[in-house]
């Protein structure tokens, strides 16, 4: 029973509970399919997207921690519905945006949203 053990024992609860935070329901959608869809549509040619190899584009903003972002594209409150809407038809949200409409299907948009919401 050295001082170090005592110290570690006392610190253990600190480390264990250090990063708890209340989690919201994850949005519906399949994160694995979402990841595949992101590759298929080539979102990574314009965005840095963690967890997607080769996604290192700099045309649009990095999608790191996008789940925590307050606004999407600086104009929409960041909710799963609005995210799916943005991915499907960005031009209806902000006519001036440089993000193109890529004809993403409703269900793909759900899955992509589910994946993007894992990025916190």
Partner 1 sequence: MNNQDRQDSVQKIRKRIEIHVGIAIAALVVAMGVGAAGFVYWGAYNVSALQQHTEPVFTILNLALDRSIRQRAEEVEPPPLTPEMAEQGRLIYQNKCVQCHGAPGVGRDDVGKGMTPVPPNLAHTAKTKNADEIFWPIKHGIKMTGMPSWQFTFTDEQIWNLTAFIMRLPELSPAEYQELVANDSVEESTDRNDVSASAPARDTALPDPERGKMAMYGYACIACHRIPGTVGPHSDVGPPLKGIGERRYIAGVLANNPENMVRWLRHPTEVDPLTAMPDLDVTEQDARDMAAYLETLR
Residues within the interface to partner 1 (CB under 8 A): 3-4, 6-7, 10-11, 14, 48, 58-62, 64-65, 68-71, 73-75, 94, 96-99
d(CA 46, CA 68): 20
- Out of 6, 9, 45, 81, the residue judged to bind ligand HEC by CB under 6 A: 45
**Direct distance between the N- and C-terminal alpha carbons of the chain, in angstroms, rounded to an integer:** 40
What residue 45 binds from partner 1, ligand HEC, none (CB within 5 to 8 A, per partner kind)?
ligand HEC
- Out of 59, 79, 92, 101, the residue judged to bind ligand HEC by CB under 6 A: 59
Give the other-Cβ count within 10 Å of 90's Cβ. 21
Residue 31's closest CA among 16, 18, 50? 50
Place of tokens 């329901």: 25
What residue 10 binds from ligand HEC, partner 1, none (CB within 5 to 8 A, per partner kind)?
partner 1
Taking CB under 6 A as the rule, does residue 87 contact ligand HEC? yes
Instruction: Indicate the DSSP class of residue 44.
Output: G
């Amino acid at each position: 029973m050295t001082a170090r053990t005592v110290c570690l024992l006392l610190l253990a609860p600190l480390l264990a509970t250090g990063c708890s935070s209340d989690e919201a329901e994850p949005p519906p959608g399949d994160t694995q399919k979402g990841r595949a869809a992101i590759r298929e549509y080539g979102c990574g040619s314009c965005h840095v997207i963690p967890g997607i190899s080769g996604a290192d584009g700099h045309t649009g903003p990095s999608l790191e921690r996008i789940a925590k972002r307050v606004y999407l594209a600086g104009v929409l409150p960041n909710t799963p519905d609005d995210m799916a809407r943005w991915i499907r038809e960005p031009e209806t949200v902000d006519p001036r945006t440089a993000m193109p409409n890529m004809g993403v299907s409703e269900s793909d948009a759900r899955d992509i949203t589910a994946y993007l919401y894992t990025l916190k």
